[in-house]
Structure 1
Amino acid sequence: MTLRNEQKYRSWVEVDLDNFTANLREIKRLIGGTVDFMQTVKADAYGHGAIEISLAALREGARMLGVANADEGIQLRISGIEAPIVILGPSTLSEIPDVIKYNLTPSVSDAAFARALEEQLERSSRTLSVHVEVDTGMGRGGTMHSEAIDLIGHIKTMRHLTLEGIFSHFASSETMTAYNDQQWLLFSGLLAQLQQSGISIPVAHMDNSGAILNYPDQKLQMARPGIMTYGIYPSSDTQNKAVLKPVMSFKTTIVLIKEFPKGYGIGYNRTYITRNKTRVATIPVGYGDGYPFILSNRGEALIRGRRAPVIGRVSMDMCTLDVTHIPDCTVGDEVVLLGRQQNEYISANEIAAKAQTISYEVLCALGKRAPRVFLQKGKTDAVEPRLRRIFVPGEEKSIARIDNIIRHCFQTRTRNEELGDAIYYEMFETLFGKEDRQLELRSCFRYDITISQLPDTAEPRRRSDAYFQLRTHVEYKKTIRSDIFMIGCASDREQLDALIEDEHCEYRWILGGDDLVIERDFTVEKMRIDGEDIPIIEAKKTGRGYEVWCGSDTLKPKINQEVKIEIEILTKKAKRNRTFPVYLLYSANLKNVRAESFFAGRHPRAAISASRGKSINIKISHEEWVFPTSGVIFIWDV
């Protein structure tokens, strides 16, 4: 029997991204076009796979993502997600360094945490957005409603905290109660009081899934849907208030079929004794996979569109099904523990009722050891292996594991272990140096380098004959982390390496030439961010070269946002050094200019177009990327 692709696994969770998208569109219809939404992806997106779910939600317009702790936020950050990530609960003091490092948005429930956060931000010259959580009756996280004004006033005095949001949480929004009304009145009253006091907080959010369905007229700037995005109604009372589609299925296969005579004990402690001759199928799923032990002798599965009862105890790694009434089933057949098969359907709520729990726990627990298979238009869009889901950023064993995977990839690609290792070590030395270095994502690069003769009036004839004048204009987009920048010029490789290590160094240059002086022959003509000229604060010679520091208080609101950076530099280039490894605008008196390209990354070669005597253009699309060591070397004759 030919197995489907997913059946390579002992068990797997299918996540239907089309249904997830449909649910988000239904939610957007309910909340209206003027209300934003935060996608709640805590607990690995309720077991669905936080990374892929986050990406799908952001494509549908999610303004923010909500997680439970710093580790969950870090997992999204290292996966390339740059959207705001809010930690929906109190953080520990030990999490603060990671909250700052990965630009997460913590919720603040007390002044002590706010002070600790402010102190560490001040030491790192960073600012960070925060949301204040207010306890209006949940009795869990958040500052007490009566103390919220004082806490907010305290936070407003802190220079490194930006008060971006305020939120509360309903205790029982899945049913319509007077207590919900009381909570809403407390929170909306607090917002009115803040407004009267002249305190503006851009984002307020309180509506979770139950509130979106039960209280459609209570709208703030943002809603915070959770369980309903995954196709589960918060309660039976809300089922007629929206059209939701289930997103998760949990599947496995039959690994063994045996027939037992009457009176045979099945499983540990023989809790099930066959009453007649019984055909029993074993599946490789147990409570170690999140299938509840309490479903022993009471759970059901779907095989060939029919229900098969669980008989005997659910073991750690296996359980057994009575398939006597399904005589045509065989080893390798698909088994559905959650989801649809033909005309039958087992819902999370059905499992929860039998397991005496709630659907939230069912979704979070099922498939702990299973990969997530993401489906779009009925086809596999992505498979998230278990390794990716258990990766712990910054943890030594995880880093070593990832390093070994990368090295193995190079060895496999080159079909040569020695060559693969050589490329691996060269790449890491080039990108990270001898120690780990945080790389930054920059996009929409453009280099314009204009070469011209040095003016005779400005330089002695000897220098004019030996050097060209270079005017370099570089522009790109990136997310800035500070309101102060440094542009550095080194006279040798050692100084250049020292500049690279400074996180404030925005652009680096190395000036070659026996009689060139970096503080004289290197000039920063212009530094602009989003079209605004940024003044030079200080220019000085240091042990690592010549440093030009720029900054402005007007940049503070732009911190942690993507901006367009433009830098213009005037310097010199020795004529005898006949290469220049950048985008080049060259004058007509340069002879026989040739381009030699070397690219590595998502696209093997960039598109290069040349206009003889004028310019050479290098272009890659926005979806592609290259390693920093990629580029084009231009060679000319003098």
Structure 2
Amino acid sequence: MAEKEKYRSWVEVDLDNFNHNWDEIKRLVGREVKILQVVKADAYGHGAIEISNCALKKGAAVLGVANADEGVQLRISGITAPILILSPATDSEINEIIKYNLIPSVSDLRFARQLQKQYKKAGIRTPVHIEVDTGMGRGGTMHQEAFSTIQEILGFPNIIVEGIFTHLAASEVITGYNETQWNLFKELLDKLEANNIHIPIKHISNSGAVLNFPHFHLDMVRAGIMTYGIHPSPETETMASLAPVMSFKTRVVLIKEFPRGYSIGYGRSYTTQRSATIATIPVGYGDGYGFILSNQGEVLIRGVRAPIVGRISMDMCTADVSNIRDCRIGDEVVLMGRQGEECISANEIAERVKTISYEILCALGKRAPRIFLQKGTTGAIEPRLRRIFIPDEEKSISRIDNIIRCCFQTRAQNAEFGDAIYYEMFETLFGKEDRQLELRTNFRYDINVSDPTGQETVEPLAGDYFNVTTHIEYTKTLRNHIFIVGCATNNEQLAALFEDRRCEYRWLLNHGGDSVTERYFMVEEVRIDRQSIPIIKRENTEKGYEVWCGGEHLRGKLNRPVKVEIEIATRKSKKNNDFSVYLVYPTRGLSISFNYGGTKIKNVREVSFFAGKHPYPEIIREEGKLIKLKISENEWIFPNSGVTFIWDL
């Protein structure tokens, strides 16, 4: 069964057409201008998550949303790109803005002061875009006051003024009012530059201005409706070749013959003027197919237009198919889109009901899944539930857990076995205490084994151990500005370090003692984003040996991806001829090398145990020197994976 046959109605989103529209925009604005993809209102009804990912692949620099909730939805789906909230935010959204690293737009000093207060409390310094009202009469600080407002905001230590923008009121048509707004904005920009105030990203152009006003492009344009294949106005249709991205479809569920004089639907608003064949269609205003289309809408069946007759109900409507030969139950019905040589566009529907295409796109198919097509095949299905569900409170997390558990039960066709899979997966990923899940990428672990040299050779028992230096690096989201690198001497201490959320990295040292000294475990350097981090103190505690690192300067990097590098020096007894590396967090991409050149180690072999879609690493051997394991940066490895190197002397 084809995917679309499973659904009562569905929306097809043609990503090939979306990519084509993007190519047109890039042709119009050139390589030097950034493009912000507008994905507010669920990407104008198309499905914000898939559209965002597609736009980012095409080169989108920023994603634009209407509110914090929309930004949160993108973040929890795994999108890390800059997300700009285009509308004025509320004070209640500031916590979400901070937590999910969103960029707010600022329209007044009062809100800027609230941001500064909350940013300072959170210990972060983060960007904003200033909106200026040059004639839209909606969001933005008034253009007469904008210069002094910006000057004051620039004095807030925790706010970075990254961008400045205004919104055109009538860009879809060429009028003098657009030039008036442009001149007001340009005067402000010139004044800022004259006063050595340099704001990196300046933007004014929406889709209409991209087409009508090339000299407005500045540093970035905000592409919305045209990326979805809709021209802002008939006047722009010759300026770019755009292809509609969305189609709304359903199927005939019932066909009946009625005599002349039979009333159809609520209110008896339509009465057959002759004997008629009427098809029932399972779509109504509850699906976004507006009540206003009653007795005036049209649909396509077998490539022929059929008029909507009678009132549109919440869940159904009816079409006269008397003129459609061989119309049958199950026939595809196109409410918006192309079928054969005929096409019903969003602009046509909008003109029929005296509204705009934006409203049609955002409303159509409210209950319908989005089926994403690429190269003629289904690439993804986005159910409505996923588009509206944003976990927030603890009860939402519990709800997610129950959904996952039920999915395993259904897939295994056995509740007990499904639970066993669920609990094993849950404990593997989160631990018994439901610890916070951390994701790490580009994990690198370089082990260098050498014999003692220089002064070390005169130490007692110097010939009984190897020196081991280990370089560890990975990318992750920084959670603590002061953190621990810990070393345990037994499993109880190791478990305690895992429970401490401040512990960034943990090491298990089997050296036969209850305490650790720098002779056996030495953190030589810690770097964040290639900058050396101060080591605050080193101490033995009940949890083991703790090396405290960090400082206030790291607060600005909290909740953002950073590259972590740790250099550790240890000693290893020659009586133990193995060295193990374990992964305790989901990791994407890794490189683990064991370098033993210059020692008497021989016959080195590895025993690896990796869990993931492709669990077999690439192995590189240089006899007498090193052995390296690599897994592609695009592949995930799950916890409880690792490798043990074994050798002979």
2:304 equivalent in structure 1? 306
For 1:160 and 1:496, how far apart are their aligned partners in 2? 38
Superposed CA offset, 1:436-481 (max 9, x none): 5544443222211123345695499676576543210122344657
Instruction: Please give the secondary structure, in 1, of the residue aligned with 2:385.
Output: helix
2:157 equivalent in structure 1? 159
Task: Please report how far the alpha carbon of residue 188 of structure 1 lies from its aligned counterpart in structure 2 after TM superposition.
Answer: 1.1
1:147 is the counterpart of 2:156? no
Task: Please report how far the alpha carbon of residue 122 of structure 1 lies from its aligned counterpart in structure 2 after TM superposition.
Answer: 2.6
Instruction: Please give the secondary structure, in 2, of the residue aligned with 1:148.
Output: helix
2:588 equivalent in structure 1? none
- Does structure 2 conserve the Cα–Cα contact (< 8 Å) formed by 1:456 and 1:464? no
Q: Aligned match of 1:327 in 325, 328, 334?
A: 325
1:212 equivalent in structure 2? 210
Task: Please report how far the alpha carbon of residue 144 of structure 1 lies from its aligned counterpart in structure 2 after TM superposition.
Answer: 1.9
1:136 equivalent in structure 2? 134
1:168 equivalent in structure 2? 166
1:614 is the counterpart of 2:630? no
Instruction: Please give the secondary structure, in 2, of the residue aligned with 1:622.
Output: strand
1:522 equivalent in structure 2? 521
Superposed CA offset, 1:224-282 (max 9, x none): 01111111111122222221111100000011111111111111121111111111111
Change (3 A) 1:603 1:118: farther
2:389 equivalent in structure 1? 391
For 2:461 and 2:279, how far apart are their aligned partners in 1? 88
Change (3 A) 1:556 1:198: farther
Question: Identity, % of aligned pairs?
Answer: 60
- Does structure 2 conserve the Cα–Cα contact (< 8 Å) formed by 1:165 and 1:203? yes
- Does structure 2 conserve the Cα–Cα contact (< 8 Å) formed by 1:606 and 1:618? yes
Task: Please report how far the alpha carbon of residue 124 of structure 1 lies from its aligned counterpart in structure 2 after TM superposition.
Answer: 2.8
Task: Please report how far the alpha carbon of residue 206 of structure 1 lies from its aligned counterpart in structure 2 after TM superposition.
Answer: 1.0
For 1:557 and 1:396, how far apart are their aligned partners in 2? 27
Amino acid corresponding to residue 585 of structure 1 in structure 2:
F
Moved more, 104-113 or 505-514: 505-514
1:451 equivalent in structure 2? 449
Superposed CA offset, 1:3-37 (max 9, x none): 64312110000111111111111111111221111
- Does structure 1 conserve the Cα–Cα contact (< 8 Å) formed by 2:123 and 2:556? no
1:600 is the counterpart of 2:646? no
Instruction: Please give the secondary structure, in 1, of the residue aligned with 2:635.
Output: coil
Change (3 A) 1:298 1:602: same
Change (3 A) 1:84 1:574: same
Change (3 A) 1:525 1:43: same
1:581 equivalent in structure 2? 580
Task: Please report how far the alpha carbon of residue 581 of structure 1 lies from its aligned counterpart in structure 2 after TM superposition.
Answer: 2.6
For 2:438 and 2:189, how far apart are their aligned partners in 1? 38
2:548 equivalent in structure 1? 548
TM-score normalized by the length of structure 2? 0.90
Task: Please report how far the alpha carbon of residue 401 of structure 1 lies from its aligned counterpart in structure 2 after TM superposition.
Answer: 3.8
2:281 equivalent in structure 1? 283
Task: Please report how far the alpha carbon of residue 572 of structure 1 lies from its aligned counterpart in structure 2 after TM superposition.
Answer: 3.0
- Does structure 1 conserve the Cα–Cα contact (< 8 Å) formed by 2:516 and 2:540? no
Superposed CA offset, 1:305-338 (max 9, x none): 0001111111111111100111311111100000
Change (3 A) 1:586 1:409: farther
- Does structure 1 conserve the Cα–Cα contact (< 8 Å) formed by 2:126 and 2:556? no
Task: Please report how far the alpha carbon of residue 113 of structure 1 lies from its aligned counterpart in structure 2 after TM superposition.
Answer: 2.2
Amino acid corresponding to residue 198 of structure 1 in structure 2:
N
Amino acid corresponding to residue 603 of structure 1 in structure 2:
H
Change (3 A) 1:95 1:14: same
Moved more, 140-149 or 262-271: 140-149
For 1:501 and 1:336, how far apart are their aligned partners in 2? 56
Task: Please report how far the alpha carbon of residue 80 of structure 1 lies from its aligned counterpart in structure 2 after TM superposition.
Answer: 1.5
1:197 equivalent in structure 2? 195
Moved more, 357-366 or 85-94: 85-94
Task: Please report how far the alpha carbon of residue 571 of structure 1 lies from its aligned counterpart in structure 2 after TM superposition.
Answer: 1.7
For 2:366 and 2:275, how far apart are their aligned partners in 1? 34
For 2:138 and 2:168, how far apart are their aligned partners in 1? 11
1:366 equivalent in structure 2? 364
- Does structure 2 conserve the Cα–Cα contact (< 8 Å) formed by 1:480 and 1:559? yes
For 1:168 and 1:254, how far apart are their aligned partners in 2? 47
For 1:516 and 1:394, how far apart are their aligned partners in 2? 43
Change (3 A) 1:187 1:504: farther
For 1:10 and 1:125, how far apart are their aligned partners in 2? 50
Q: Aligned match of 2:62 in 48, 61, 64?
A: 64
For 1:394 and 1:486, how far apart are their aligned partners in 2? 29
Superposed CA offset, 1:60-83 (max 9, x none): 111100001111111111112111
Change (3 A) 1:487 1:116: farther
Amino acid corresponding to residue 249 of structure 1 in structure 2:
S
Amino acid corresponding to residue 270 of structure 2 in structure 1:
Y
For 2:513 and 2:134, how far apart are their aligned partners in 1? 71
1:421 is the counterpart of 2:432? no
Task: Please report how far the alpha carbon of residue 137 of structure 1 lies from its aligned counterpart in structure 2 after TM superposition.
Answer: 1.6
Instruction: Please give the secondary structure, in 1, of the residue aligned with 2:255.
Output: strand
Moved more, 424-433 or 94-103: 424-433
1:623 is the counterpart of 2:634? yes
Structural mapping, 1:530-545, within 5 Å = 532-541=530-539, 543=541, 544=543, 545=545
Change (3 A) 1:95 1:511: farther
Task: Please report how far the alpha carbon of residue 558 of structure 1 lies from its aligned counterpart in structure 2 after TM superposition.
Answer: 7.5
Change (3 A) 1:586 1:177: closer
Task: Please report how far the alpha carbon of residue 634 of structure 1 lies from its aligned counterpart in structure 2 after TM superposition.
Answer: 3.0
For 2:539 and 2:109, how far apart are their aligned partners in 1? 43
Q: RMSD across aligned C-alpha pairs, in angstroms?
A: 2.8
Change (3 A) 1:468 1:515: farther
Amino acid corresponding to residue 547 of structure 1 in structure 2:
V
2:567 equivalent in structure 1? 568
Instruction: Please give the secondary structure, in 2, of the residue aligned with 1:72.
Output: helix
Amino acid corresponding to residue 107 of structure 1 in structure 2:
S
For 1:491 and 1:241, how far apart are their aligned partners in 2? 70
1:179 equivalent in structure 2? 177
For 1:127 and 1:427, how far apart are their aligned partners in 2? 37
Task: Please report how far the alpha carbon of residue 394 of structure 1 lies from its aligned counterpart in structure 2 after TM superposition.
Answer: 1.8
For 2:505 and 2:457, how far apart are their aligned partners in 1? 27
- Does structure 2 conserve the Cα–Cα contact (< 8 Å) formed by 1:127 and 1:559? no
- Does structure 1 conserve the Cα–Cα contact (< 8 Å) formed by 2:11 and 2:246? yes
1:16 is the counterpart of 2:50? no
Amino acid corresponding to residue 624 of structure 1 in structure 2:
E
How many residue pairs match? The answer is 634
Amino acid corresponding to residue 341 of structure 1 in structure 2:
Q
For 2:290 and 2:387, how far apart are their aligned partners in 1? 21
Structural mapping, 1:402-413, within 5 Å = 402-411=400-409
Amino acid corresponding to residue 597 of structure 1 in structure 2:
S
